[in-house]
Amino acid sequence: MTRTPNPVLDAVLTRRSAPRMTDPAPDPGDLERLVQAAATAPDHGRLRPWRLVAVTGDERARLGDALAEAADSPELARRASAKPLRAPLLLTIVHRPVPDHPKVPEWEQLAATTGMVTTLSLLLHSHGFASIWRTGAAVQAPQVHKYLGVDDDEQLLGWLYVGTRCAPDATDRRPLDTPARITWHTTGI
């Protein structure tokens, strides 16, 4: 059987997180188009319970200062301040649920936010960019929330680091155990 090329499947199968990236990153126009496309991810009620804060240039160092201020020790502060410099663009992922929505519970709104971010990372990959979703204790830090303008009714879910991969892809180390994770309930077969 001959396989028909499928760019979506290829993007899903070949996307890998990149720990460090370099320029270029998407320009603002390209990023807006990719985010617009990513916003088509499943989202019950079309609430779009998220927003992104793009951090580039010298602002990455300022974010590093906020991360360092939130660190528990001088060594952790030193390492935290350098983290935003690992990519030319950091997309801050802010979950902003609609509280007490009559039809869409908050867990489903969180699923919509993560679906959008996953779709965005696949779109970035399909356009030649690399990304990695980074989190950590700093997502709870008041200093980081203040710097980014994260309100009390919002949740910081981390950053999608974006740029161009510095090194070739590493060997795929993902286990292929998915058939064991599917349970079939069928009748009449």
What is the pTM (predicted TM-score) of this model? 0.91
Distance CA 111, CA 36 (A): 18
CATH T-level fold of 19-166: NADH Oxidase (3.40.109)
First CA to last CA across the chain, in angstroms? 25
What pLDDT tens digit does each residue of the chain (189 aa) get?
567 889 999 999 899 999 999 999 999 999 999 999 999 999 999 999 999 999 999 999 999 999 999 999 999 999 999 999 999 999 999 999 999 999 999 999 999 999 999 999 999 999 999 999 999 999 999 999 999 999 999 999 999 999 999 977 655 566 667 777 888 888 865
Distance CA 129, CA 109 (A): 27
Residue with tokens 């994260």: 150
122: tokens are 């696949």
Q: Given its phi and psi angles, is residue 46 left (phi above 0), alpha (psi -120 to 50 degrees) or beta?
A: left
